[in-house]
Amino acid sequence: MTKHLEERLSEALDAAARTVPDNAVPPELFPTEQPASSERRWVPVLVGGLAMAAVIAAVAVPLAISREHSAPPAGSLCPTPPPVEALSFSKREYSDPEYAELNKLPFGPPPSVPFTMASLKGGYLEDRGVRVPLQGGQEVYSIGRVDCGWVTYRQSGSDAAEVGVLSTDGKYRSFGPVTGDGAALSQDGSQLAYVAPGGKGFASVVTVSVATGKRLASTAATTNAEVVGWNSHGVWFMRDRDKDATTQVWEPGGTPVSVDTDGHQLTAYRGTDRMLLSDQSSPASSANLCVRVVTLEATNKLTTTLQECGGTGGTLSPDGQVLVTEAGGSTQAFLVDTAAKTGFKVSSLVVTADHEAVWEDSTHLLNSAGLGTDRQMTVRCDVISGACERIQDGPQKDVPAGPELGYP
């Protein structure tokens, strides 16, 4: 971010001192456009918890990656959030020698992506200092920021999962039930693509207006469909991920086109037309255990920009400049344009790679995950310097629980 939250808030309040409450939220906290960061997939889950597949990566990259952000949108101030008291838990050391290196990491500030905190009485979604209360037993997960709020997945108890917009005043505007996996915002943030149930085992990949919730386009799919991203080429999805790994690209209003991914999982991003091929399900041999950065040609064929073999997991920075992958038995990072390999300042026990990784921006990766015990670990790593820090973490089973990371 180019300015601290306090500076942004002060500027907005100074501009509207006579008409705006002291605790109003300036609209630039929730820009509609998102050039520097991109949401990944989210997965509806049954009651019992949201399974986060975020990943840490820390690399020293000999390149100054752009940190530019678009200008904030003009308009009136966002609705004022209700008062919410912050939850916290003590900082504890890890007793397992396997994770002793974590005790040496400094503690940093809260995540600058949307995240949720929960307690027995309820919780809240927090994003860059703004906290919005959530009901007890309600799971909310950010798909991406929009003007004055967030597009989110939501589920309460045994109710059906749904998608909609959570605004800064805590109100939720539902787009309806959701099935399958994945959701993706358009490049300008004005539309959302997801899998909507149609009854009797049928479903559709649909696009809706974020502002109104109106359905704009749809194409036939199944309840096992998966949306894997949206870039300038269109919406990328698998029509039935369990029976057919074929990936299609769809320009809403047109006909989906099948694209050969060589049996790999494809992940597309809002901020770049470079895409990731990873997580091969049934490799014929170890030589085919490769992760690739690819682009789509006019012939609807994928062209490889960079390929690294030796593993199946990987994540691509939202601007498409850095690939982090499991290669040669350890997690490593590569500059996409030059294939220059970079080093990590934490071990492979801490650093892994996955296509669902959460990036704060083009230079910082986050991870919030359990360690197979009663502990939860949350770490931030700078891919320019290779330095990592722990975000406040604590028990995994006790309350309060969190932070549960969402996508910006």
User: What is the per-residue pLDDT across 4-63, written as a single tens digit (0 to 9) for each?
Assistant: 434 443 443 343 333 344 445 554 555 444 433 344 444 443 333 333 333 333 333 322
Q: What share of the chain is helix, strand, coil (3-state, %, to 5)?
A: 5, 40, 50
Specify burial of residue 208 (Cβ count, 10 A radius: 0-12, 13-18, 19+).
buried
Please tell me which of 8-22, 101-115, 274-288, 393-407 the model is most confident about, judged by mean pLDDT. 101-115
Q: What is the pLDDT of residue 279?
A: 85
Rg of the Cα atoms in the chain: 21
CA–CA distances in Å: residue 264 to residues 3, 27, 99, 277: 39, 39, 32, 5
For residue 286, the SS3 value is: helix
- The mean pLDDT of 105-110, rounded to a whole number, is 89
pLDDT of the residue at 348: 67
* Residue 301 backbone phi and psi in degrees, to 5: -105, 150
pLDDT tens track for 309-337: 888 889 999 999 999 887 766 778 889 99
When pLDDT is averaged across residues 353-371 and rounded to a whole number, the result is 85
Give the pLDDT confidence of 149-203 residue by residue, as tens digits. 999 999 987 788 999 999 999 999 999 999 989 999 999 999 999 999 997 878 9
- The model's pTM is 0.80
Q: How far apart are CA 114 and CA 42, in angstroms?
A: 13
Q: Could you tell me the pLDDT band of residue 70, with boundaries at 50, 70 and 90?
A: very low
Write down the pLDDT at residue 373: 58
Residue of 345, 401, 402, 359 whose CA lies nearest to 59: 345
Neighbours of 378 (CB within 10 A): 24
If one looks up domain 30-43+51-70+84-405 in CATH, what number appears?
A: 2.130.10.150
